Structures are given as C-alpha cells and as structure tokens.
Structure 1
Amino acid sequence: MTARDYCTLDDWVSRLADEAVAFAERNETPVKVASGISPSGPIHLGNLREVMVPHLVADELRRRGLQVEHIISWDDFDRFRKVPKVNGVDSSWEEHIGKPLTRVPAPHGSDAENWAEHFKRELQGALDDLGVQYRGISQTQMYTSGAYVDRVLHAMAQRGRIDAILERYRTLDRGESVAEAQNSDDTDAESVSGAAEDADGSGDSGYYPYKPYCSVCGTDFTTVTGYDDESTDLTYTCRCGHTETVVLREHTNGKLVWKVDWPMRWAFEKVTFEPSGVDHQSPGSSFAVGKDVAPLFGWKRPLGPMYAFVGIRGMAKMSSSKGGVPTAAIALRYLEPPLLRWLYGRKKPNQSFDVALDGELPRTYDEWDALVRKTGGDKAQPGDIAAHARAASVWDTASSQVRELPLTPRPMPYKTLASIVDITTGDDEQTLRILAALEPDQPLTALDPLRPRLDRATAWVAEQMPEADRTVVRTRPDAELLASLTDEQRAGLRLLLEGSGTPAPEGLGRLEDDWTLAGITHQVYGVAKVQRGLGADQIVKGDKELAAAQRAFFVLLYQLLVGSDTGPRLPTLLLAIGADRVRELLEVRQ
C-alpha cells in the first residue's frame, strides 16, 4: 500500500479531508485549513489538538496531490489576562495585565523579545519535530501594520447589525456564554485562540466592536465613548484617566473584539476548515455567533469540527494560566515524534484521550511497537497501515514526496530500557553491557542504534518515573531476612544459584552457565517447577498452587535484591545486577 493508497479509507482523517474538499469546491476556493493559538502561557497538549487536527487533514490532502495551505494564527495581540504560575515570573507581572502579549516582558532568564515570543518559540520547535508544515501569522503584525484597517472600518460601519446578531446570543452580562466564560472540559478557556473573557463590545455608550489599547498606559482598560462614521474619529477613555480621540482609519493600536475578530479573519484569509474546542462551539459561543457574523465580511463560517479534551494521565485538566502543564516540547522529551502524532491521529477529534507521561507511558510504546510489527507483516489491515503511515511520515511539499520522520533503528521495549537506565543510573558502559546480553543473537556493539528511544527513556527515568517504580539494588545482603528463611525458601535459592544437578532444559544448571536473558528466564521460572518434581521447561497450565509458589519465590527475590515486593522483570534485573553481585545478595551462609 503506497502513501496515497490509503487516502480512500473510511477513517476520520479521510472523511474530514473529503468534507474539506467538498466545502471548498462549493465555495469555489482552494482548501485552506487554520489553527489559532494564543501564546498566553505554556502551550499545552490540549492546545496541540488545535494544530494536529487540521495538520492531519492537510497532510492527507497533500498525499492526494492536492494543494492545501495550513495557517497558524498566533493570537499574540490578545490581552495579557493574568499572571500564570511559570518559572521566572512573579507578581510584578501584574502591572502588565491588559497589555498585548507582545508588549509583556518575557519571563526572567528568557532571551525572547517578549512574552508571546517566549511561549511561541517552544511550540514552534515541537511542530518542526512533529513534521507540521504551516505558515505562521502574527496578529500583532497584522493589526499594527494596518492590514486589517478596511475590515475594522467595515465592522464599525456594520456595528448595528453586529450588535443585533450578538443580542440574539447573549447569555451573560459580559457577553460570553457559560461554556466560554468558565473552564470547559477541553481546556482552560483563556489558553485557546480568542480568550473567553473578552467583552463583545457592548457598553453604556453604545456598541463598538473595536477595542483600543491606551496610548498612555498601554492596556485595554478602555471604553469607546463615541465614533463618527464619516471622519472615523473615535474617542475613548481609559481607566488610567486618559481620554483621546483618534482617527480610526489611521489607528493601529487596537483590535476587534473576539467574536468579530475571528469571523473577520476567516474572510481575510479565506479559511475553509478550522476546528475548535467545545468551549467555542456551545450555543452563544464564538463559533456559533461566527456563522452569522462571517457573511457581513463576505464569507461563510468554515467547516469546523469540534475537538474534545486531551488530558495527562494522573493530572487534572490543563490550564495555561495555572502553569506546570505538559507542553508538546515536554512530551517529546519522552515520546518520539511519530508516537505523539499517532496519539492524536488514532482518536476522532470529538473523542477525548489521555497522554500518559507517568508509569503508563511504557505501555504507549508497547502499543506502538505492536502496530509496527503488524504493519511489517502480511496480515495488516489498511487502517493499521494508514495509522502507522500518518504517524511515521509526512508529505513534504518542498520535495513533493513522503518524508519519513526519525525513528529508533533498533527499538527495544521502552520499559526494558527504562529499567536498565534506572538500575545503571544512566552509565553508558553498563547499559551497553546489559543490553548486549539481552539479544545475543543480534550483537549490539554501540548504543546509537537504540537512539532516540534510549535518550527518551533516560529523560523519563530522570524526570517522570514514579518514585515507587524506581529500583535501588541493595548494597549488602539482608542478613535478617536471610536468617529467617524457611527450608523451602533456602532450597529455592540454592536451586537458582547452583542448579539441580540435571542439565537444562529438563533441569537447572548453575545460574552463570547460561548468562543470557533466555537462560536466566529458564532458571528463574524453573525453580518452583523443579521443587515440585516437574521439569524446568515443562509447560503447566491451570496449576494455581504452582503459580502461587512462583509468585512467592519472585517476591522473595525482589525483597533480597531491591528491598521491595516488585520491580523490573526478574531476568532483566538479574542480568543488570550481574552474576557476582546476585550471588553476594542471595547466597545463604551457614
């Protein structure tokens, strides 16, 4: 199956791609997909869905040979709403509330020009790693350059009609719906494009859809008190006490209110596809209102599927203003780019899902590896091939061909890598020694074939591995426990170390006789069988007594080796510790 063969599959990406093409054809315009991101704080994994849904659709259409552009609108001219809890920021930033994000200083220690640039930069790097091709548009640049002046004047001329439209939707005094004014299940409302706390332009002096930034204090705590349509003179007052009259056709220090700004930009960019979160799609919300406002600018509301909440396993829902939320860049410290792409591609946009960065993360790698094995065989279903291809490659517009994203050449199980890195504390020489012994039939002479997965596992162990899962090998034998062993336990340890006198596979040799993962596995699982008169390699099913005996013996080994009832797989653990130290910790001295 080639890169283009699966474009006819009946999955959500293909269906949305078909709908995007049909919508554009009906409106006699090219397909243009859009994302809107407000760099008001850390741009978290919930925001990333705003980018990944249109990206996957655009990538699908490019593979079909169609022209499509993906734009990302950086809403960096939005107001700074509150001071988030992020490193390098303190209460002194409160003086900047109400200013455009591009006029707020970056956090201490950052070399970025401003607040917005600091948080944009991190996401931009992650999008490059993820293979997302887009054209970024700074709303600060668009507004301050005068690119929107004609649209602003048109909105002011149509303010009566706009006000009448909004009046049908208003549900709160400040003009936003409950879903947009409060945190939704998708993400904190202020962290998405067009923050929910924006007023809609209504006030005691009338309705004005334009909000100027004060020329004295720089904030948007302003109120428009009058406007002359002929001269375009606009008068405003500010909370700081400043009053000013400006000529709107020449004024570039303000912006349209969000519910007018968003549909205006649909028309300006001729957007045909733009998803949004549940907070923007409830009755009275921006997307709903935009359906009626967009025609005033000569455009239709684009095709806009709703996307649902993206969570982090073990964490509450994400909020950029609260800080401490995982961003795409953080996730990519532990997940290779194709895996992160796969997580966003395998679920329909309206299905919520979690990204596991805790102890469940190794399972994500296991599921991915299973998919890779399946697609490498003869029985893979088209859907499996499509899911893998969309995750592992992108259509490169520059070369007009599929570009594979970097993947680990020799992928060992993530959990195994993490366990060994944990035990060796990241020592490369010891790590190579252990990993080379895991697969003796495929000699490993360097760690490079295991990268970048090994590097991801190393970072995860250092930064995210649950404390309860960490492995600390004893430095000396547990003399008290060894002295309290039962006769059966002592016999089990002797069998493990010295063998049964009968060679493998029926019996057990000395532990060091076959110091490979397979040999140690045979030894560890064979002890309980030999103690019950069975062959060490005998397959026994449904013997609850034997199963209980094996579990009890494993617990004993964990207690003697790492002081816990559980730990990494015992064969891997023994291999990592080394034969000499295993003997030192397990030998029963008379």
Structure 2
Amino acid sequence: MVHNSEADWVSRFADDVIAEAERRAPGRAIVCASGISPSGAIHLGNFREIMTPHLVADEIRRRGLECVHILSWDDYDRFRRVPQGIDPAWSEHVGKPLTSVPAPPGSDHPNWAEHFKAPMTAALAELGIEVTPISQTAQYTSGVYRRQILHAMRERATIDAILARYRTKVKQQEPPAGEGTDAADTADTADDGDGDGVASAGYFPYKPYCSVCDRDLTTITSYDDETTELTYVCACGHSETVYLSEHNRGKLVWKVDWPMRWAHEGVLFEPSGVDHHSPGSAWVVGGEIISEVFRAQRPIGPMYAFVGITGMAKMSSSKGAVPTPADALEIMEAPLLRWMYARRKPSQSFKIAFNQEIQRTYDEWDALERKIAGGDGQSAEIAYHRSVATAGGALPATPRPLPYRTLASIADITTGEEDQMLRIIRDLNPDIPVTSLDEVRPRLDCARRWVNTQVPDDQRTRIREEPDVTRLASLDEPQRESLRLLLDGLDAHWSLDGLTSLVYSVPKVQAGLPADAAPTPEVKTAQREFFVLVYELLVGRDTGPRLPTLLLAVGAERVRKLLGA
C-alpha cells in the first residue's frame, strides 16, 4: 500500500502519528483519542469525532503496531439546558453532572449520560469500532486526576495569563454559541460551557460541585496552596471548606481539563470540530496550556468539517433533531456508513442521505464493489477496504447484495410481507434464484425500514385492487396494441432482465424497429408515454418503482387483470 497517496488521508496521518510516537515515546503503545459529551443524542456530526481517530488507529494496527483508541465520555460535564420535548421540571437539574441527572422519562438507564451513551455504544459495536471507554465521572470521583488538579491550582497564575491573551480577542472575534456552525455539529461541545474559572477572589481552574445541591453554581472564595484548604459558596446558599487533596466532587474547567488529559493519557492523535479552532477556543488555548503548565505536547489534531443531512422524514431516537449513527444503521449497512467517512478527508464536508438520494449512494457503492472485483478500484479501493474490514476482521455483509432501490421497491409494494417479497426476489433472476430472504439480509431489512420510516405516505406504492374500467375504455388502438404486446411477452420474459428488455422493446416494435434497435428520439418519447400508461393502470399514478420490478411484484395474473386482458 502507498502510504503517501494524496487520496489516502488515513495512511498519511498514520505515517505522521507513528513518526511522532517514535520521537516522543518510542516503544510505548500509540494513543488516539475521541471525546464525546453525552448531553443529548450523539449525532452523525459528532460521529466524525470517533470515526476519524478510529480509521487512523485501525491503520496503525494493520501495520502491526500497538495502538489504543480511547473514548473519553465527558459524562462529568454539567447539564446545561433542558432539551425540547423534555419536561421543563428537569431545569432543577441544570448545573449537575450528567451522571447525576435522571434519565429522560421512560428510559431504562440509571441517568442522563448512560441513556445517551447506550445507543452509541451499540452502534460502535455494529460498526466494528474498538475503543477503550473512559468515564470522566469515574476518573474525577475516584481521584485519578488529583495530582494534576493540585498542579493546575498551583499554576493558576500561569493559566490565567494564557487565558488573558485571548479573552478580549474572543469577545471581538468569536460568534455567539451556535452561530457560524452547521446544525449537525452544534450539540454541546463543552467548549467554554463551564467558564474559564475567573472569580472575585482570583482565578481558579477548578470548579467544585456543591455537596448539598450537586450543582456547579459555586464560587471559590479562598484557597491555600500549602494545606490545599479550599472554601466555596454556592448559589443555593451552602458554604463549605474542603481539602482539595481529598476532595473528589469537582472538575477542572474545560480549557484546562482537555490539555491535562492529553498529557495524562499521552494522546498522540485527536481531531476536533471547527468550533474548537476559533480564537480562544479550547484547542488553541490548550496547546499553550499543555506546553507551559503540563510540560507536554499537544496531539496531532486535524480539524474536521461538517456532516450534513439530506432528508429526515420520521426520525426515531433523535426525536426530530439531527439523526444519530443508530438512525443511519437502521437504513444502511455498517460498511456503507463507514465508507462515507473513510472516503472524505476530515477537512471535507459531506452529506448523508436519508431521502431518495440513499438509493444513488448505494448505486455508487455497488458500482465501486464491481470495479474492485474487476481489479479496477484505483484510489477508491483503499477507502473501500477500510469500510468492509478492520484490523480485527471483516464486517458482516449481505451475501446477495441486490440493488437497494430494487429491494426498497419490493418492500414498498408488498408492505413488507415476507412470502410476497421472497416470491418477487426469487423471480428477479430465475437462473440463480434467491431461496431465502437471509441471502439478501441485512440490506433488505435496511431498505424495508427506509420505506417504512422515510418515505411519505403519499409516495408509497398502492397497487389497484380492480381495473380502471373508465381509463381502459378510453384507450386508442395504438395504446391497446402496446398493452397486447406487453401481455403477450410476459411469460417468455418473466425475470428482471427479461421484463426490462420487454418494456423497452414494445414502443420499438410498434414503430417497426427490431426489439434490440437503438432508440430514436421518437421512440424514447413513445417509451415514456407507454410507461406512464402502464403506471396509471397499475398504481393510479404516472410514476412509481422501476416498471420491471413493479410487474414482478404485481404478478403476471394480476397484471393481466389490471391491464384489461
């Protein structure tokens, strides 16, 4: 494999990370990292935060090197706001750690964070993404970071001076939260959400959670470096003095927390979104804090662009917001979703289709598979192989990957009735028939769920129960002849390829041309008119699923009935 190919961004980052590992810490496991705040549904924009380091870590493992991909769950972040659709009474929990907030109503999970972590954890398993999860609640409350916290408090003047370089600049240049960012990347990023620690008694990079109300509405009023005695007051009225050398109910503010963890974990690669790269943001400031305070180096960290969404009809877990990986996996196979992230450099934005465009995405994927099978994959082959397999092995695949649009049409026409679906799919290629729906799963199930959740009711296909006698009576002789030619050829052409040839040949034969003649402009017009006629008589509209698929679905006997035979 050529590791310096311009198209293969994963290999190029892996080259850089391996070289940096040799320079910084030769012989040690390489650490790639992601960080996600489970403050809400973890959407397909957030997912780039995980997918980018996964691909790099996986490439490093493919080369036989030890590499760990840590996923820091920022579940000790504060609960900032009550999302739309949740009881406003949840506002009493604003300011508490996410792991101290009750899960949304009806959830089986013990708290808010676990409720939103669970579907992502399941999606990661389905996508073949191996991570080492780290709960920041567990890290902080067990005292893992105590030494780093005490060090940051001793170095608070240095940290304050670093932050001061950006405070005025940020006010002048940085847009308000949520502005200038894509809808798929604006979920709580933790950047600046907990302030930077300025208080009337001076600057403190540590924020206690109140021992009475469990919220972070606290202000440090005094701190002694020698004894580590810390006094805080809370907006709830509680005041308390603790010893920071023993206190485990608080955390470093975000702009200090992130670089502290880079140093603590020895992170060599971690990407971040556009919002983290504005003036005064945690990535920019963190690079100075890790160097001047924690005496370490910032990771290699590309900025990743937005992930847009095309069409969102009836979302499930995301409740009408931007969809999640779990939502995507309902309607597309895991290798396809992986491919969409692997084939684009992190700096390139792209869109994931939930509407009719998903059929074109699948057509492109299938065409790529055929190219690779024929030895003509070129640069796209690399992204493909990263999608269908990891260093740990191949992902599950559909044994007979029939076109997605065909499976969707069949699921639509039959309303998902399995015996009917099998009958139609078996007839697609009688020479090599599908004998069980398991041969076309999981793709069939994805296509069926797409039809059921993303296709509006007024676009669903409804086959007529009875012939349209009025329309049949109004047909002229050329129209009647076209239907006779179609019906006469059904039995001899009863397969997907055969019916495709038949429906396109009818207008040619009527024009006195051979069935396999190249169509003239006049024939193309006649073909469109013929297709419209058949659609009207079968489904009462001038369009529908591909006509050969529709004929197979309706069945020869019913086609004859509806076309007036």
Do they superpose with TM above 0.5? yes
Contact between 1:189 and 1:196, CA under 8 Å: does it hold in 2? no
Partner in structure 2 of residue 62 of structure 1:
61
Contact between 1:359 and 1:466, CA under 8 Å: does it hold in 2? no
Q: Deviations over 1:176-197 (max 9, x none)?
A: 9725733443557763543442
Partner in structure 1 of residue 13 of structure 2:
16
Contact between 1:84 and 1:322, CA under 8 Å: does it hold in 2? no
> Aligned pair in 2 of structure 1 residues 545, 189: CA closer, same or farther (>3 Å)?
closer
Amino acid aligned to 1:85: Q
Amino acid aligned to 1:522: S
User: 2:204 and 2:186 mapped to 1: Cα distance?
Assistant: 22
Q: Does 1:133 align with 2:130?
A: yes
Partner in structure 1 of residue 532 of structure 2:
555
Q: Deviations over 1:43-72 (max 9, x none)?
A: 111111000100000111111111111101
Partner in structure 1 of residue 209 of structure 2:
213
Partner in structure 2 of residue 478 of structure 1:
468
Amino acid aligned to 2:537: L
SS in 2 for 1:250: coil
> Aligned pair in 2 of structure 1 residues 187, 62: CA closer, same or farther (>3 Å)?
farther
1:519 Cα deviation from its structure 2 partner:
2.8
Amino acid aligned to 1:528: P
1:533 Cα deviation from its structure 2 partner:
1.3
Partner in structure 2 of residue 503 of structure 1:
none
> Aligned pair in 2 of structure 1 residues 298, 216: CA closer, same or farther (>3 Å)?
same
Q: Does 1:465 align with 2:452?
A: no
Amino acid aligned to 1:487: E
User: 2:262 and 2:493 mapped to 1: Cα distance?
Assistant: 68
1:251 Cα deviation from its structure 2 partner:
0.9
Listed as ranges, the matches of 1:113-512 within 5 Å are 113-171=110-168, 178-179=174-175, 181-186=177-182, 191-295=187-291, 296-314=293-311, 324-381=321-378, 383-396=379-392, 403-498=393-488, 510-512=489-491
Amino acid aligned to 1:538: A
User: 1:484 and 1:391 mapped to 2: Cα distance?
Assistant: 54
Listed as ranges, the matches of 1:551-590 within 5 Å are 551-587=528-564
User: 2:375 and 2:252 mapped to 1: Cα distance?
Assistant: 56
SS in 2 for 1:580: helix
Contact between 1:417 and 1:457, CA under 8 Å: does it hold in 2? yes
Q: Does 1:519 align with 2:515?
A: no
Contact between 1:422 and 1:470, CA under 8 Å: does it hold in 2? yes
Q: Deviations over 1:219-256 (max 9, x none)?
A: 11111122122221212111111121211111111111
1:339 Cα deviation from its structure 2 partner:
0.7
SS in 1 for 2:199: coil
Partner in structure 2 of residue 47 of structure 1:
46
1:99 Cα deviation from its structure 2 partner:
0.4
User: 1:484 and 1:268 mapped to 2: Cα distance?
Assistant: 80
Q: Deviations over 1:70-114 (max 9, x none)?
A: 10100000000111235xx32221111110000011122222111
User: 1:309 and 1:324 mapped to 2: Cα distance?
Assistant: 16
User: 2:168 and 2:546 mapped to 1: Cα distance?
Assistant: 58
SS in 2 for 1:122: helix
SS in 2 for 1:181: coil
SS in 2 for 1:476: coil
> Aligned pair in 2 of structure 1 residues 315, 443: CA closer, same or farther (>3 Å)?
closer
> Aligned pair in 2 of structure 1 residues 176, 130: CA closer, same or farther (>3 Å)?
farther
Q: Which ranges of structure 2 fall in alignment gaps of 5 or more residues? A: none
1:522 Cα deviation from its structure 2 partner:
2.6
1:172 Cα deviation from its structure 2 partner:
7.4
Contact between 2:312 and 2:355, CA under 8 Å: does it hold in 1? no
Contact between 2:45 and 2:184, CA under 8 Å: does it hold in 1? no
The more displaced of 234-243 and 132-141 is: 234-243
1:17 Cα deviation from its structure 2 partner:
0.8
User: 1:371 and 1:492 mapped to 2: Cα distance?
Assistant: 37
1:311 Cα deviation from its structure 2 partner:
1.3
Amino acid aligned to 1:523: L
1:442 Cα deviation from its structure 2 partner:
0.6
> Aligned pair in 2 of structure 1 residues 549, 219: CA closer, same or farther (>3 Å)?
same
SS in 1 for 2:115: helix
SS in 1 for 2:330: coil
Amino acid aligned to 1:194: A
1:521 Cα deviation from its structure 2 partner:
2.1
User: 1:322 and 1:225 mapped to 2: Cα distance?
Assistant: 42
* Percent identity for Structure 1 against Structure 2: 58
The more displaced of 92-101 and 483-492 is: 483-492
1:160 Cα deviation from its structure 2 partner:
0.8
SS in 1 for 2:202: coil
> Aligned pair in 2 of structure 1 residues 321, 551: CA closer, same or farther (>3 Å)?
closer
> Aligned pair in 2 of structure 1 residues 215, 251: CA closer, same or farther (>3 Å)?
same
User: 2:326 and 2:3 mapped to 1: Cα distance?
Assistant: 29
Partner in structure 1 of residue 88 of structure 2:
91
User: 1:287 and 1:322 mapped to 2: Cα distance?
Assistant: 31
TM-score normalised to structure 2 length: 0.95
> Aligned pair in 2 of structure 1 residues 192, 26: CA closer, same or farther (>3 Å)?
farther
1:537 Cα deviation from its structure 2 partner:
2.4
User: 1:180 and 1:281 mapped to 2: Cα distance?
Assistant: 14
Amino acid aligned to 1:368: W
> Aligned pair in 2 of structure 1 residues 230, 275: CA closer, same or farther (>3 Å)?
same
User: 1:245 and 1:343 mapped to 2: Cα distance?
Assistant: 53
Contact between 1:41 and 1:323, CA under 8 Å: does it hold in 2? no
Cα RMSD of the aligned pairs, angstroms, is: 2.1
1:298 Cα deviation from its structure 2 partner:
1.9
SS in 2 for 1:191: coil
Q: Deviations over 1:119-163 (max 9, x none)?
A: 111101111111111111000000000111111111111111111
User: 1:437 and 1:341 mapped to 2: Cα distance?
Assistant: 32
1:365 Cα deviation from its structure 2 partner:
1.3
Q: Which ranges of structure 1 fall in alignment gaps of 5 or more residues? A: 397-402, 499-509
Amino acid aligned to 2:423: R
Instruction: Tell me the number of residue pairs that the alignment of Structure 1 and Structure 2 aligns.
Output: 559
Amino acid aligned to 1:63: R
Q: Does 1:546 align with 2:523?
A: yes
User: 1:321 and 1:161 mapped to 2: Cα distance?
Assistant: 42
User: 2:5 and 2:533 mapped to 1: Cα distance?
Assistant: 52
SS in 2 for 1:160: helix
1:25 Cα deviation from its structure 2 partner:
2.3
